[in-house]
Chain A
Amino acid sequence: MFGYVRISRPQLRCAEHDLYRGVYCSLCKELGARYGPLARLILPYDAVFYALFALAQQEKPPVLRPSRCSFNPAKRCLRCEKRNKALVTAADISMLMVYYKWRDTIADEAGLRRLLWLLPAPFFLCSGRRAKRLAPEAAKKIKSACAAQRIVERKEAPCLDECAHPSAQALGELLAATAESAKHAAALRRLGYLLGRWVYLMDAADDLEQDRKRGRFNPFSAHFDQPEAERRAFLQAQLNQTAEELLAAWEAVPLQRYRPIFDNLFTLGLPAMEATVLHTTRKERKRRAGSL
């Protein structure tokens, strides 16, 4: 489910990219501090987006200082000076999301795969419980979204909007929670809703082939038998419409700083990710990532 909300690196200015990396490194460290070194491996790009967004809402700008990566001390990076609330929340949320995703996977899989997924159970159970204790509000939102998703998936022929609603609403609530003043919450909620919807649609489009093979639930299952080109056009239309509404919502969102980074993310990063998902398979992407 993760990693769709990314910047387009070639189009980002160096200073902004350094900052983005800095937030990434700070979040990685925060995850390590809160949930142990294993948790650093789960860091998704979506959580970096969330952390950066929360930082952009704060009154005071964060102070980033040069530092070194603890995994690879030869690498220099920027890091937040003090413990920041935005990073702490982002760390908790990413842990919670991974935990609930893992529980979903356990429930869905069977046989050998399930056993493999059960191997890291101690880690997930421990840190999931910890995350639930540290961030009860966010845990409640994500948990209720998961429950609502399960109910929708059991329906006979749910419409696309219905399927996307739980995760969209959850992200809407999470973004609204970053608002410094209550009057901005509505704009943030709308942006979050549409972004959540976009992520859900992307995830569904990405899983399409796999779900068809294994006979699992997919919101696009009515389009399984369509010819490839037609299906792709339909998926693209859905994503386009969501992205357009998203951009309109984005213009109404007030930020204290970092607007260019988010401009890059919404106008270039999301379409680039759409193209990647719609025109390459997961295997091809993995092979390419491995060759880099």
Chain B
Amino acid sequence: MQDPYEILGLSPQADDAQLREAYRRLARENEGNLRRMEKLNEAYDSIVLARGESCGGTRSGTAWEKTAPPPPGFADIRQRLQAGRYDDALTLLDGVPLPQRGAQWHYFKGLAQRGKGWLEEAEKHLCEAARLAPENAEYQATYQNLRQSRQGGYRARRAAAEKEDDSGCCGLCLGLCCLDSCCECCGGDLIPCC
């Protein structure tokens, strides 16, 4: 996904009023262009959502970056992860002070490393996240998936799919046999040889 600020032609420092203004102007210009509008809406929504999260739910017109401390929710990091900017996300994560590095920090770090292709580090951080927050279903599911893939998950799935195909064939034969028996009961014969 493209950077939402880039789509709206803004810098990330723009305040909410500028954001609304830019969105309205672009929306007027691209009124007939559905695809472009969809992109604009998506970009606007993602920024508003991210700002809402980082400001604790209030969408006031003040400059949000000054009022909001960065860590709660890691909204800006989540946003960069969604945009596929993994190196940026890693830089931000490295800037988080040590005492604030909880389960969520490890989770995001794991996702960013995974996106970058550093799978061994990703495994370590996702494991740590799952260990620190055993009640969080998202972290647990991600870690379980990863563990399965380490044990050759895709091969197991392929094997299972092939087995299903086989049983499909057996099912067909069985069905034909049954049909034949039924026909014979009524005096007919579907398969003459048996």
Please give the residue numbers on chain A whose beta carbons come within 8 Å of chain B beta carbons, in ascending order: 159-161, 165, 168, 186, 190, 193-194, 197, 236-238, 240-245, 247, 267, 271
Q: Could you give, for residues 11-35 of chain B, a 1 whenever the CB lies within 8 Å of some chain A CB and a 0 otherwise?
A: 0000000000000000000000000
Contact A237 B150 (CB under 8 A): yes
Contact A245 B150 (CB under 8 A): no
Cα-based distance from A227 to B96 in the complex (angstroms): 40
Given A160-B120, A161-B120, A238-B120, A244 contacting B113 (CB threshold 8 A): no
Closest Cβ of chain B to A223, distance in Å, is 13
CB closest chain-B residue, reference A242: B119
Cα-based distance from A161 to B120 in the complex (angstroms): 6
| Nearest 8 pairs of A and B residues by beta carbon | A161-B118, A244-B149, A237-B150, A160-B120, A193-B117, A240-B152, A241-B150, A161-B120
Contact B154 A247 (CB under 8 A): yes
Main secondary structure of the interface of B (DSSP, over half): helix
Q: What are the residues of chain A within 8 A of B150 when measuring CB–CB?
A: 237-238, 240-241
Closest Cβ of chain A to B94, distance in Å, is 15
Give the number of residues in B that approach A within 8 Å (Cβ atoms). 18
Contact B84 A241 (CB under 8 A): no
The yes or no answer to B134 lying at the interface (CB within 8 A) is no
Please give the residue numbers on chain B whose beta carbons come within 8 Å of chain A beta carbons, in ascending order: 84, 113-114, 117-121, 123, 146, 149-155, 158
Contact B155 A271 (CB under 8 A): yes
Cα-based distance from A194 to B115 in the complex (angstroms): 11
| Residue in B84, B113, B120 whose Cβ sees the most chain A Cβ within 10 Å | B120
CB closest chain-B residue, reference A169: B117
Cα-based distance from A241 to B110 in the complex (angstroms): 14
Contact B118 A244 (CB under 8 A): no
Q: What are the residues of chain B within 8 A of A271 when measuring CB–CB?
A: 155
Given A161-B121, A165-B118, A241 contacting B113 (CB threshold 8 A): no
